[in-house]
A and B are shown apart, each in its own frame.
Chain A
Amino acid sequence: MDISLPARVITYLGPIPLTDGQLGAILVSLFTILFFVLSARRFSLVPTRMQLVLEFVHDYIMEQLENAFHSKKRANAFFPLFMTLLIFILVSNQFALMPLVFEIMTSGGDVFRQPTSDLTNTLALSLVIFLICHFMAFKISPLKHLSNFFNVMPLLRARSVGAVFSAGIEFFIGLLNIIGEFAKIVSLAARLFGNVFAGNVMVAVIMSLSFYTQFLAPLPFIVLSTFSGLVQSFVFMLLAIQFVALSIDGATPAQDEQISQESLEVGSSNIAVGA
């Protein structure tokens, strides 16, 4: 495994360059599609082992979605997206453990590369989340959604100097939210990329230290990077759910009291359970 930050162009499909990261992503997609088609053919009332695992993952994601969206219908509608995200990132983070795939070479380097250790792939994933956030919010209420960023209503309603001042601050905070939206893209993408790439770099550095550190010494670091890949795939999905839920909540016209009351009830039941 060689260390290079930009993806390496393998071939050209017409005018489009095909990089090693994209080839890796295609391989991971094919692998997961094949796996799920094969395992979904034999679903039955009495579950097989694989079905049990998949149902466990399904229940976990549905629980997270229902907690975030407060609606079973919307959770059902969003479920396929987040399941796909989780499975794709999970498989591609553990892709480095796959035997023989990284032995395929052309002149100059490997043909395949871990999809998540290529910044363009993780940027694409986080752009998808960003677009879905804003598309859903616009679909629910365009004006309410825009007023989160260009908050002119308090400025129009202001009747005194103090009110104008605080309305100006609110308007400025709205402008800062625009920067925050773009920071979301960068932070989602850079977090996943940084963790996976740093794991690869760490293993490569340990292996290239000396002749004796090539065989057993990198093992704990491989375990560490595998574990952090596992955690990061769940973190990416959970953060994506939170971002989508946040922007939908921001565009939904005032039902805040009901939601806060619900969360209060949940909190008090927690306390009751704890006591």
Chain B
Amino acid sequence: MDIEAAKLLAAGICMGLGAIGPGIGEGYVGGKALEAIGRNPSIQNKIIPNMVVAMAITESTGIYALVISLIILFVL
């Protein structure tokens, strides 16, 4: 296999597999937050910031995958 083709494949596989976990996690966080808001709408202002922070932490593995695939594409 050509080295360029291997790079493109590696970046695509890295990003695709790396997006699965954060996708599941963020869906779970958002769903639970909406559930909590539906149960008690008056504390919406307290839940939303916590939800955003939890989502950002969940997202971090996806961001690592993104950074690695960017490094594969543009630096290596």
Q: Tell me if A239 and B56 are in contact (CB < 8 A).
A: yes
For A, the interface residue count at a CB cutoff of 8 angstroms equals 23
B26 within 8 A of A: no
CB neighbors of A among B43-57 (8 A): 43, 46, 49, 52-53, 56-57
Q: Which residues of A contact B40 (CB under 8 A)?
A: 274
Query: Assuming A235-B53, A238-B49, A239-B56, is B75 touching A273 (CB within 8 A)?
Result: no
Judged by DSSP, the binding face of B is helix
Size category of the binding interface on chain B: 10 to 19
Q: Write out, one digit per residue, whether chain B residues 30-51 have a CB within 8 A of any chain A CB (1) or not (0).
A: 0000000000101100100100
Enumerate chain B residues within 8 angstroms of A270, measured Cβ to Cβ. 43, 46
- B71 at the A interface (CB under 8 A): yes
**Chain B nearest CB, measured from A234 CB (Å):** 7
* Chain B interface residues (CB < 8 Å from chain A): 40, 42-43, 46, 49, 52-53, 56-57, 59-60, 63-64, 66-67, 70-71, 74-75
19 pairs from A and B in contact (CB 8 Å cutoff)? A187-B63, A191-B59, A191-B60, A191-B63, A193-B67, A194-B64, A194-B66, A194-B67, A194-B70, A195-B63, A201-B70, A231-B52, A231-B56, A234-B49, A234-B52, A235-B52, A238-B49, A238-B53, A239-B53
